[in-house]
Structure 1
């Protein structure tokens, strides 16, 4: 208990989602040590299993105490699925977004530079969580999340969405291989960088695709995971530092 008081879990909330339990978490408030010190919740980070379990318990308690945690095996896909109960840890489906209309479930997305997006329709009682890296966003994971929410009774014009901490344009240098995946219509998301390089604005790209769906509100939080090691894990920062592993952070939402 003393450790929780001295090192509390930081919960970042979006004003657009103030009517539902939710939170974007970083690295503060956990028990992991080493290169992934803090609130490291990833299962494949080379972390101690007991530490990960405790971090997940703390994360859940900080956002929606008593809820059941629902996660998926994220693979940078456009797949969004409906959940009405948690899956066994060893039988998690491969997907990159989850939606539910079942109270008591905490939908959780793991990120470490990719954009976590949380969704809610207050009137329909439907929430969603999506993992949107460039590949997933480009492939349609945001649109599929909204489509699954509509299947549960949501109306896009009533859905609000918030984009949590992710790598910012100034921190996200990409090469010609990634730029070639996008059309000239998306040129506004790429700023000139070093020769043969661009700076990609993932958050703005995600926000643009969300706004194109006609949602009631889209709130980007403008928090850069790469540039703030005291608050967030970052895969790219870890690579640049030559570290052997990196932490993952949770974003959660529930009814």
Structure 2
């Protein structure tokens, strides 16, 4: 497989003309060493410039623009936050991000935890959750669905896909 090209995993349940999604692997980034190649985790000891470029590449793949995805400061919690634009200051402590704002790119970072992407395609409401065992047990996906409903999603139309 080509290590220089971003090739995310997608799922038909989330396919839409209005919503881009993907589970990104380590391929297609600029990080080196133990973080080789597409490390997007700002909490790691990787070169901050490499992380910034990797995040830009993910955003560009999703939108065609230089937009880095918004990620929360993940703490293995059941907390979901709703976002409509860039963070004001530091990212909030949460494990799910929800939006219905076009052009806002959201993501959940995962290594040994599960990323979960959710969408009500009709309402245009999406969520990205980081579901480690603590957060999953505590209800992070439930919190994401509740937050989605609070901004117009219908629970019966929400599709969720668990990433690799």
Q: TM-score scaled to structure 1, two decimals? A: 0.60
Instruction: State how far apart, in whole Å, the 2-side matches of 1:60 and 1:153 are.
Output: 25
Instruction: State how far apart, in whole Å, the 2-side matches of 1:69 and 1:24 are.
Output: 13
* Shift of residue 64, structure 1, vs aligned partner: 2.0
Q: Which has the higher contact order (CA 8 A, sep 6+)?
A: 1
Work out whether residues 77 and 136 of structure 1, in 8 Å CA contact, stay in contact via their aligned partners in 2: yes
Work out whether residues 7 and 27 of structure 2, in 8 Å CA contact, stay in contact via their aligned partners in 1: yes
Task: Say which SS state the counterpart of residue 116 (structure 1) adopts.
Answer: strand
Could you tell me which residue of structure 1 aligns to residue 70 of structure 2?
A: 70
Could you tell me which residue of structure 2 aligns to residue 183 of structure 1?
A: none
Give the count of matched residue pairs.
Answer: 160
Could you tell me which residue of structure 2 aligns to residue 61 of structure 1?
A: 60
Instruction: State how far apart, in whole Å, the 2-side matches of 1:47 and 1:16 are.
Output: 34
Instruction: State how far apart, in whole Å, the 2-side matches of 1:143 and 1:9 are.
Output: 30
* Shift of residue 6, structure 1, vs aligned partner: 6.8
Corresponding position: 1:116 with 2:115? yes
Task: Say which SS state the counterpart of residue 55 (structure 2) adopts.
Answer: helix
Corresponding position: 1:87 with 2:91? no
Q: Which of the pair has more CA radius of gyration?
A: 1
Q: Deviations over 1:53-97 (max 9, x none)?
A: 111111111122224632110000000011011104x51110000
Matches within 5 A, 1:93-132: 93-132=92-131
Instruction: State how far apart, in whole Å, the 2-side matches of 1:65 and 1:28 are.
Output: 18
Instruction: State how far apart, in whole Å, the 1-side matches of 2:106 and 2:43 are.
Output: 19
Q: TM-score scaled to structure 2, two decimals? A: 0.93
Corresponding position: 1:161 with 2:153? no
Matches within 5 A, 1:165-244: 165=164
Instruction: State how far apart, in whole Å, the 2-side matches of 1:47 and 1:21 are.
Output: 27
Unaligned runs of 5+ in 1: 166-255
Task: Say which SS state the counterpart of residue 71 (structure 1) adopts.
Answer: coil
Instruction: State how far apart, in whole Å, the 2-side matches of 1:43 and 1:68 are.
Output: 12
Task: Say which SS state the counterpart of residue 70 (structure 1) adopts.
Answer: coil
The structure with the largest strand share of the pair is 1
Instruction: State how far apart, in whole Å, the 2-side matches of 1:74 and 1:43 are.
Output: 11
Work out whether residues 57 and 68 of structure 2, in 8 Å CA contact, stay in contact via their aligned partners in 1: no
Could you tell me which residue of structure 2 aligns to residue 168 of structure 1?
A: none
The structure with the largest helix share of the pair is 1
Could you tell me which residue of structure 2 aligns to residue 51 of structure 1?
A: 50
Could you tell me which residue of structure 2 aligns to residue 144 of structure 1?
A: 143
Coordinate RMSD, CA, aligned: 1.4
